[in-house]
Amino acid sequence: MELPVEFRKKYETLLGADSEKFFQSFDEPAVSAFRTNPLKAQLPDYSEKIPHLEWSYYGKVSGKSWEHVAGLVYSQEPAAQIVGQVAQPQPGMKVLDLAAAPGGKSTHLLSYLKNTGLLVSNEISQKRSKILVENIERFGARNVVVTNESADRLARVFPKFFDLIVLDAPCSGEGMFRKDPAAIQYWDSDYPSQCAVLQKEILESALEMLAPGGQLVYSTCTWSPEENEDVVAWLLEEYPLSLLPVEKINGMLEGIAFPETARMYPHHFKGEGQFVAKFQLDQEGKTKKIKASKSNLKPEQKQLWLDFAKKHLAVELTGTLQVFGDHLYLLPDGLPDLSKIKLARNGLHLGVFKTKRFEPSFALGLALLPREVKNRVEISQESFVDYAAGQPLAVSKELPNGWYQVVIHGNGLGFAKIVSGTLKNNFPKGLRFS
């Protein structure tokens, strides 16, 4: 790979005798990996486990496979997976993923939260936030809201609110050169310093949202000290933060000047490039009281939902019910009023109100485990191909007409209506493929 001359000079100085193996690693193929989803009912067995990482395997998954479409697997290269593992939120925590698209770190955080607590998954780009929503819905989590905002606007709504904030910051992307050679075109010797300015601006807002005693995980996919250790030094100087040690596994190295932090180089670590640091904020200070979100359902809408839930669900879903247009969402408990910020996903999409009836969403069918639904119909891998293409499926004529959760290999894959032995396909048109 043809690397910029200034880049080579920089890392010859930084790495010394180790630089030649570093440069040689750019001519090797990028490493592919994926995580399995512990929120699902049944998971297939995979062979090449990544050491010391829960749910993680080397290899590729097809975007057209039933495992991917049902949310059982998520593609994410090994170095990027370290960020979620370092963050490792405890169940019940209030968590913010501040630069979340396309969703790898958010889905990893959701794996630890186990449908408890709260995740606010934010992406400032409207286009990228739509991709984030798709990946969050496929994962099937119920305790997440996707926002589409700048960090400073979020800080007005969530002052001293979060127990844990993860910022995988916009950066110069040096660690992605091998995976995405086009990123080299954007690099010059001044680019890392320019990125560091933006990173500090975002971190200033992030610290306004961190509760006393809360934790901050800061990461980049670059090796540049200007964006990594220099930012760490700035944070420690400007805020009452202390560094927490990051466990060095699978070839991770200590950061420069800060042994608590971690660096991932592809000639030592089987993956791409990453830097990660973990901080804890002092306990001093008080959290602020917030004005909680309230339900805005009309009585007739609430009754339609309750009738559907009583007839079709074997579990009671907790949270705040809100209508946006004709669409019904379930917001996680404990959220402030979100009316002043842009939302890309207002909690779990339950479905849509039609004239005197309620129709369940594809997202609800992904989020519910089969044991939580009263009526379900299993489809085969062969039938999945037609289902994903939007085709109706023939089912037993003995099945009564009505709504069913579509199930494949013990996992939910949306809702569909059965009428006279035919499954009317409700697979979203924007997700269909053949």
**Binding site membership for S-adenosyl-L-methionine: which residues?**
99-105, 123, 168
Residue 263 · residue 255 · CB < 8 Å: yes
> For residue 415, what are its two tokens?
């809702």
At residue 415's C-alpha, the angle toward residues 414 and 417, to 5°, is: 150
> For residue 432, what are its two tokens?
């269909």
In this structure, the strands spanning 241-244 and 210-220 are unpaired
* From 82, 221, 241, 341, active-site residue: 221
Residue 406 · residue 416 · CB < 8 Å: yes
Return the number of other C-beta atoms located less than 10 Å from residue 55's C-beta: 21
| φ, ψ of residue 246 in degrees (nearest 5) | -100, 125
- Single-letter amino acid, residue 103: G
Residue 122: which residues within 8 A CB-CB, separation 6 or more? 96, 97, 98, 99, 100, 146, 147, 148, 149, 151, 154
Residue 45: which residues within 8 A CB-CB, separation 6 or more? none
195: annotated active-site residue? no
Q: What is the DSSP letter of 303?
A: H
Return the number of other C-beta atoms located less than 10 Å from residue 229's C-beta: 18
Residue set of the binding site: 99-105, 123, 168
Distance CA 123, CA 130 (A): 9
Give the Å distances, CA to CA, from 28 to 6, 99, 172. 21, 29, 21
Type and span of the H or E element at 113: helix 104-113
Distance CA 266, CA 53 (A): 17
Distance CA 287, CA 162 (A): 9
Q: Where are the alpha helices (DSSP H) in 140-225?
A: 151-157, 191-209
User: Which positions are annotated as active-site residues?
Assistant: 221
